[in-house]
Chains A and B, each alone.
Chain A
Amino acid sequence: GDSVTQTEGQVALSEEDFLTIHCNYSASGYPALFWYVQYPGEGPQFLFRASRDKEKGSSRGFEATYNKEATSFHLQKASVQESDSAVYYCALSDGSWQLIFGSGTQLTVMP
């Protein structure tokens, strides 16, 4: 079945560092790809999505580009802040109602 892999379980950075969280997917079709962010005590929040090859999704300074050839959708941000500390989930949808999530990446940003 379809799956999403996030290789980093935890990422620790200092403020103003560059962030990359890797996301790779496996799907039989042409899925839509998503990033969600979860802050402590809250549920996951939709960050952005991309539906086509080479499409860039972005929000709040975060961005990711759909790469069909590499089956990737890596999350990046040029300069992280302490307030960005959260768990980040990559997810895919094959067009059905189901969202398939990765296991999440805990980002900790130190001041």
Chain B
Amino acid sequence: DTTVKQNPRYKLARVGKPVNLICSQTMNHDTMYWYQKKPNQAPKLLLFYYDKILNREADTFEKFQSSRPNNSFCSLYIGSAGLEYSAMYLCASSSPGGAREQYFGPGTRLTVL
């Protein structure tokens, strides 16, 4: 079973309000990722967990937070949403090691008004 689930599938948020997105995977993968995808752009890596270690990209360090309470679940948290956060958020997981294929969830479409 190569399933990655994301909740909710659609999220509407007000400017300045917090947003919490959830991801789960059943493959016992050590590594979980969050990407941001905007129209006509490549998916952009925001952060990833290897086991319990969080790695955040330098340019998103202060904008996004995450937690991983157990191996199967991972959240993405935005403390104060801005209009620029409107995008598709994709969660993925992979087995450990570099250059591994990643398995993606269906995404959460976030609209900030």
CB of B40 within 8 A of CB of A103, answer yes
Q: Which residues of A are found within 8 Å of B90, using beta-carbon distances? A: 43-44
Distance (whole angstroms) from the CB of A79 to the closest CB of chain B:
26
Of B14-22, B67-75, B76-84, B96-104, the segment with at least 4 beta carbons within 8 Å of chain A is B96-104
A51 at the interface (CB under 8 A from B): yes
Contact indicator B92/A43 (Cβ below 8 Å): yes
In the A-B complex, list the 10 residue pairs whose CB atoms are closest, starting with the nearest.
A43-B104, A32-B99, A95-B98, A101-B42, A46-B101, A93-B99, A103-B42, A44-B104, A101-B43, A96-B98
Q: Are A89 and B42 in contact (CB under 8 A)?
A: yes
Report the nearest B residue to A34, measured CB to CB. Answer: B101
- Whether the Cβ atoms of B105 and A43 lie closer than 8 Å is yes
What is the distance, in angstroms, from A40's C-beta to the closest C-beta of chain B?
10
Give the docked Cα–Cα distance between A7 and B31 (Å): 31
The range of chain B's interface size is 20 to 34
In this complex, what residue of A is CB-closest to B90?
A43
Chain A: interface residue total (CB-CB under 8 A) = 27
B28 at the interface (CB under 8 A from A): no
Main secondary structure of the interface of A (DSSP, over half): loop
Interface positions, chain B 16-54, Cβ under 8 Å from A, are 31, 33, 40-43, 45, 48, 50
Our pick among B40, B45, B101, B104 for the contact of A9 (Cβ within 8 Å) is: B40
A50–chain B nearest beta-carbon distance, Å: 11
Q: Once the chains bind, are B92 and A93 in contact (CB under 8 Å)?
A: no
The answer to whether the Cβ of B110 comes within 8 Å of any Cβ in the partner chain is no
Q: What are 11 A-B contacts defined by CB distance under 8 Å?
A: A31-B99, A34-B101, A43-B90, A43-B104, A43-B105, A43-B106, A46-B102, A49-B99, A51-B99, A98-B45, A103-B42
